Chain A
Amino acid sequence: MKRYVYIWFMATALILALVAAINTVVDPYGIFRWVDQVGFNRVKPAAAKHGHMAKAYQVLRIQPKTLILGNSRAEVGLDPNHAAWPQNARPVYNAALPGTGTATSLQFMQHVLATDGIPTAARPTLVLWGLDFMDFLTEPTAPPVAHDHHDNNAESLRLMSANISQRWRQQLRDYAESTLTLNAVLDSVQTLASQHDPYATDLTAQGFNPMRDYIKITADEGYWSVFRQKDVAYNKSFSNFPKSLFDASGTTSKHWEDLKEVMRLCRQNGIELRLFTYPYHASMHEIFRKTGHAPGLELWRRRLVEVIAEEAAASGQPAFRLWDFSQINARTAEAVPAPGDRKSTMQWYWEAGHFKSALGGLMLEQMLGKSPPTGASQPKPPANMLSASGSRQASLPVDSPP
């Protein structure tokens, strides 16, 4: 019996060690990036779903000068390698996380800024943060937010916890999850097998998701079909969303407080914060209208400007700048190919909620100041948005040739 147990345990340990070694080298979630070889493991098809974990570590490794925050729209739309980034803003890290809201963006900022015990903590000088209207919708009956409402859940705090043992535990769990799990093994196999697949999903070392899988999906199913599937889903979920932008206080909510906290952190750390709204496709605007959210969108834009202005007045500093891309114009109204058309492609959109990095590039050029002045026929934003804030208002130039 003893010999059996000995062989059993030794063989188990050997298998586990082998598995850990393979997963560390292949690194399916891009958490280590110790070995990074084109044709071997550069493409990370399984990483996109583990962004929460991988990005928390990668951002510390890369130590970016510029940080992109937001949700999936920013993750797939803003390329950290775009030519518009000036040299002094590089390296750029796309820390946007799919399916997350203001709370996660704030927590990621805190994570990046937390220096206690982490000598390598990155200090960005510029932050681009994509704000999503849907993130600000709140139940009007929600209790007014407490001053320090931020919940310290380990999932998003990762390494920033001041409690060292908690941090270590989290780190241990993350390393175990990316090396010592069956899922990691399967994902490693998928990683090795996908290197020459031009349509494999990817999450680059700079945190950007180039949506390679969508090239194939849109070609197989046609843009019309992809738009339709997503529109149905958006319609359903937006119908269930609350309509209010404020909680029971009537003036704020935890989302607005998150925004204020990020602004405060940026002021405190001398970081330049540039805020922007996403360029929803026109069919998304139509869904907003149908689900009764259009007035909310208008109010949200105005309130954003006010909140930014209030912060500027209180701090006595120039206001943080806000670019509003959430308007209908020639680009956001790009025509969707007809049903059954699987040949035509779209220049700016994957589907109504997600713009391509081509459009993201134009946005970057505007926000980073490489763009010609916007055209005269561009729709004028409401006057009070400009006057109230002094923030720069912009939408994509509609009259410049695509």
Chain B
Amino acid sequence: MLFNSPEFLFVFLPILLLVFFQLAGISQRLAASWLALGSLFFYAWWNPVYVLLLLCSIGFNYSVGRTLTQGNDVGSRRRTRLLTLGVTANLALLAYYKYANFFVDSVNLALGTHYALADIVLPLGISFFTFTQIAFLVDAARGKAKEFDPIHYGLFVTYFPHLIAGPVLHHGEMMPQFSQASTYRFSSEFFTVGLTTFVLGLFKKVVLADGIAPYAAPLFAAADQGTAVGLFQAWGGALSYTLQLYFDFSGYSDMAIGLSYMIGVRLPLNFNSPYKAISIADFWRRWHMTLSRFLRDYLYIPLGGNQKGPARRYVNLMLTMLLGGLWHGAGWTFVIWGGLHGLALVVHQAWRGLRVRLGHNLAISTRAGRTASIGLTFLVVVVGWVFFKASSLNAALLVLSGMVGLHGISLPDMVAARLGPLGPWLASHGVLLTPGGGRDFAMTFLWVIALLPMVFISPNTQQIMQRFKPTLDQQDSDHTSRLTWRCNTRWALAMAVVLALGLLSLTRPSEFLYFQF
């Protein structure tokens, strides 16, 4: 079931919430169980068989976690062995479902063999529920996991707002919330703020992301077939995808936060205007923040982080990003994407080191410097998305070579005809005029021009909703613009337009891009 499907919006969600608050009046445990059951149903809608897999995974990890914490022996061999077993089992499950085919294909490619596996259907959200539970096991072994209520644990893993596309939750921040009495009392403030946040996300997803999506797809479809594209078409498609992914993931994250806040449970912030980042490190503090946090705490730091000298630090950064890339998908393009970001992070660190040695004060920056940094970071990110989206390395290189003008410049006839005297001038200066495609060309750039300023300038949902703090660790911001949400008539009318546009765009629900990870 998708958040943007009518079944979810008009049947599942109302029934789930109504029954939840009814049961909460009787017993909190009953209500929590209902929520977990509802979450399983939500998951089963997509593929009922995999509910068993999810339940097995939960049962296994809960038992291992429980066993780990018995006895006062943090750091003991027993714990290490048990933890190794638990983490290995989780990774093996992930490896089988997500990477077996990739591994076999890579072996075939390298050795010229023809091994084949039966098609393995990737269980939705397996990357997410595996990661959250590995973190739980690690913390249990370290003696940091405090709560072991089985219902709360089951609910924490299956909790439907995050189950299939994140954020990557942490037991330490979620399970205590399921024990709070306020979670089980209907609050019109929680509900209203949650619903408003959800609807803002719905709008981003179904109006903006799905609106621009048709203009990203043709470029990558052409590149997959080995067709070279001109400069404008390559940039138009790459920027469209950059914006589609942004509004898709941002919209999904808002929807997850809003859904959860309807019952007063705060999810961690996952998306904080990432294209406003002034460096690639800043980007990763703003994009898929809970994944970055997970990779930092459970991969980068255990690898040694920045504690073992600059060389090891760079190696650790690269390793973390390469694995982070692979986490996003079983394919070499994802590994390259991760590697590219790793490299950018290394360059960023080296650059900072150089500036410190030159005696620069890194705390001081100019407006022009910041603008240039944002531009450069954005450029690196766009180049990265080309690898991320393309189905093969060749396709990605074809798009990138188009973006640097290696396949020439072409304009649709119709567009050139509307440029007045500029059209013939361009034609006489090597711009190829091609028949057809004028409307799509114009629409691509209209969408890009409309959406691009939003990602750089406008406040994000957290800033709009800042007075009510529907997320965990929300930073206090001094953003006191008129775009801060208030519970008044003007906002009710504005949100009516947003909701109506969202509902009018519901037909043919499209999947969220992050479902595939």
- Residues of A whose CB lies within 8 Å of any CB of B are 1-5, 7-12, 14-16, 19, 173, 176-177, 180-185, 220-221, 225-226, 228-229
Name which residue of chain A comes closest to B414, CB basis.
A220
Q: How far is the CA of A5 from the CA of B487 in the complex (A)?
A: 9
Asked if A2 contacts B188 (CB within 8 A), the reply is: yes
Q: How far is the CA of A8 from the CA of B486 in the complex (A)?
A: 13
Name which residue of chain A comes closest to B193, CB basis.
A1
* Selected contact of B493 from candidates A1, A11, A182, CB within 8 Å: A11
Query: Which B residues are in CB contact (< 8 Å) with A14?
Result: 496
Is B14 an interface position by the 8 A CB rule?
no
Query: Which A residues are in CB contact (< 8 Å) with B499?
Result: 8, 12
* Selected contact of B504 from candidates A7, A11, A19, CB within 8 Å: A19
Decide: A1 near B435, CB < 8 A? Known: A12-B499, A19-B504, A221-B413. no
Name which residue of chain A comes closest to B495, CB basis.
A8
Asked if B492 contacts A11 (CB within 8 A), the reply is: yes
Decide: A11 near B496, CB < 8 A? Known: A4-B491, A180-B504, A181-B507. yes
Asked if A180 contacts B503 (CB within 8 A), the reply is: yes
Interface flags, B478-517, vs A, CB<8A=1, else 0: 0000000001110111011101110111110000000000
Q: How far is the CA of A3 from the CA of B491 in the complex (A)?
A: 12
B14 to A: closest C-beta gap in Å: 13
B440 to A: closest C-beta gap in Å: 14
Q: How many residue-residue contacts, CB under 8 A, span A and B? A: 71
Q: How far is the CA of A245 from the CA of B244 in the complex (A)?
A: 43
- Residues of B whose CB lies within 8 Å of any CB of A are 188-189, 191-192, 195, 207, 413-414, 417, 435-436, 487-489, 491-493, 495-497, 499-501, 503-507
Query: Which B residues are in CB contact (< 8 Å) with A5?
Result: 188, 192, 195, 492
Q: How far is the CA of A350 from the CA of B244 in the complex (A)?
A: 37
Query: Which B residues are in CB contact (< 8 Å) with A11?
Result: 492-493, 496
Query: Which A residues are in CB contact (< 8 Å) with B487?
Result: 1, 4
Name which residue of chain B comes closest to A2, CB basis.
B188
Asked if A7 contacts B503 (CB within 8 A), the reply is: no
Decide: A181 near B504, CB < 8 A? Known: A15-B496, A221-B413. yes
Q: How far is the CA of A220 from the CA of B433 in the complex (A)?
A: 14
Name which residue of chain A comes closest to B436, CB basis.
A229
Decide: A7 near B435, CB < 8 A? Known: A1-B189, A12-B499, A182-B505. no
| A-B CB contact pairs (8 Å), 17 listed | A1-B189, A1-B192, A4-B487, A4-B488, A4-B489, A4-B491, A7-B496, A8-B495, A12-B499, A15-B496, A15-B500, A16-B500, A177-B507, A182-B207, A182-B501, A220-B417, A225-B435
Q: How far is the CA of A7 from the CA of B506 in the complex (A)?
A: 22
Can you add 10 more A-B contacts, CB < 8 Å, to A7-B489, A19-B504, A181-B504? Answer: A7-B493, A7-B496, A12-B500, A15-B497, A19-B500, A181-B507, A220-B413, A226-B435, A228-B435, A229-B436
Query: Which B residues are in CB contact (< 8 Å) with A226?
Result: 435
Asked if B192 contacts A4 (CB within 8 A), the reply is: yes
Query: Which A residues are in CB contact (< 8 Å) with B188?
Result: 1-2, 5
6 closest A-B pairs by beta carbon, nearest first, are: A11-B496, A7-B492, A15-B500, A182-B504, A1-B188, A8-B492
Name which residue of chain B comes closest to A177, CB basis.
B507
Query: Which A residues are in CB contact (< 8 Å) with B489?
Result: 3-4, 7
* Selected contact of B507 from candidates A9, A19, A176, CB within 8 Å: A176
A88 to B: closest C-beta gap in Å: 41
Name which residue of chain A comes closest to B211, CB basis.
A182
Name which residue of chain A comes closest to B413, CB basis.
A221
Asked if B435 contacts A8 (CB within 8 A), the reply is: no
Name which residue of chain A comes closest to B496, CB basis.
A11
Asked if B505 contacts A181 (CB within 8 A), the reply is: yes
Name which residue of chain A comes closest to B190, CB basis.
A1
Query: Which A residues are in CB contact (< 8 Å) with B192?
Result: 1, 4-5
* Selected contact of B503 from candidates A4, A8, A16, A221, CB within 8 Å: A16
A104 to B: closest C-beta gap in Å: 20
Decide: A221 near B435, CB < 8 A? Known: A1-B188, A1-B189, A181-B507. yes
A352 to B: closest C-beta gap in Å: 15
Name which residue of chain A comes closest to B417, CB basis.
A220
B468 to A: closest C-beta gap in Å: 11
Q: How far is the CA of A14 from the CA of B488 in the complex (A)?
A: 18
Name which residue of chain A comes closest to B486, CB basis.
A4
> By CB atoms of chain A within 10 A, which of B191, B491, B492, B495 has the most?
B492
Q: How far is the CA of A228 from the CA of B413 in the complex (A)?
A: 15
Name which residue of chain B comes closest to A221, CB basis.
B435
Q: How far is the CA of A7 from the CA of B507 in the complex (A)?
A: 25
Asked if A229 contacts B505 (CB within 8 A), the reply is: no
A173 to B: closest C-beta gap in Å: 8
A241 to B: closest C-beta gap in Å: 16
Q: How far is the CA of A180 from the CA of B500 in the complex (A)?
A: 10
A20 to B: closest C-beta gap in Å: 10
Name which residue of chain B comes closest to A178, CB basis.
B507
Name which residue of chain B comes closest to A186, CB basis.
B504
A168 to B: closest C-beta gap in Å: 15
Query: Which A residues are in CB contact (< 8 Å) with B207?
Result: 182
Query: Which A residues are in CB contact (< 8 Å) with B501?
Result: 182
Query: Which A residues are in CB contact (< 8 Å) with B504?
Result: 16, 19, 180-182, 184-185
Query: Which B residues are in CB contact (< 8 Å) with A7?
Result: 489, 492-493, 496
Query: Which A residues are in CB contact (< 8 Å) with B189?
Result: 1
Query: Which A residues are in CB contact (< 8 Å) with B414?
Result: 220
Query: Which A residues are in CB contact (< 8 Å) with B495?
Result: 8
> By CB atoms of chain A within 10 A, which of B191, B417, B501 has the most?
B501
Name which residue of chain A comes closest to B493, CB basis.
A11
Q: How far is the CA of A1 from the CA of B186 in the complex (A)?
A: 13
A240 to B: closest C-beta gap in Å: 11
Q: How far is the CA of A10 from the CA of B500 in the complex (A)?
A: 11
Query: Which A residues are in CB contact (< 8 Å) with B496?
Result: 7-12, 14-15
Decide: A12 near B503, CB < 8 A? Known: A4-B488, A4-B491, A7-B489. yes
Q: How far is the CA of A309 from the CA of B444 in the complex (A)?
A: 53
Q: How far is the CA of A16 from the CA of B499 in the complex (A)?
A: 10
A19 to B: closest C-beta gap in Å: 7
Query: Which A residues are in CB contact (< 8 Å) with B417?
Result: 220
Query: Which B residues are in CB contact (< 8 Å) with A173?
Result: 507
Query: Which A residues are in CB contact (< 8 Å) with B492?
Result: 3-5, 7-8, 11
> By CB atoms of chain B within 10 A, which of A10, A11, A14, A182 has the most?
A182
Query: Which A residues are in CB contact (< 8 Å) with B488?
Result: 4
B11 to A: closest C-beta gap in Å: 13
Query: Which B residues are in CB contact (< 8 Å) with A185?
Result: 504
Q: How far is the CA of A78 from the CA of B499 in the complex (A)?
A: 44
A5 to B: closest C-beta gap in Å: 6
Q: How far is the CA of A229 from the CA of B412 in the complex (A)?
A: 13
Query: Which B residues are in CB contact (< 8 Å) with A15?
Result: 496-497, 500
Q: How far is the CA of A86 from the CA of B413 in the complex (A)?
A: 45
Q: How far is the CA of A176 from the CA of B497 in the complex (A)?
A: 18
A297 to B: closest C-beta gap in Å: 27
B333 to A: closest C-beta gap in Å: 25
> By CB atoms of chain A within 10 A, which of B436, B497, B500, B503 has the most?
B500
Q: How far is the CA of A181 from the CA of B488 in the complex (A)?
A: 28
Name which residue of chain A comes closest to B503, CB basis.
A16
Q: How far is the CA of A389 from the CA of B410 in the complex (A)?
A: 54
B298 to A: closest C-beta gap in Å: 40
Query: Which A residues are in CB contact (< 8 Å) with B497?
Result: 15
A341 to B: closest C-beta gap in Å: 15
Q: How far is the CA of A11 from the CA of B417 in the complex (A)?
A: 44
Name which residue of chain A comes closest to B6, CB basis.
A176
Query: Which A residues are in CB contact (< 8 Å) with B413?
Result: 220-221
Q: How far is the CA of A181 from the CA of B495 in the complex (A)?
A: 18
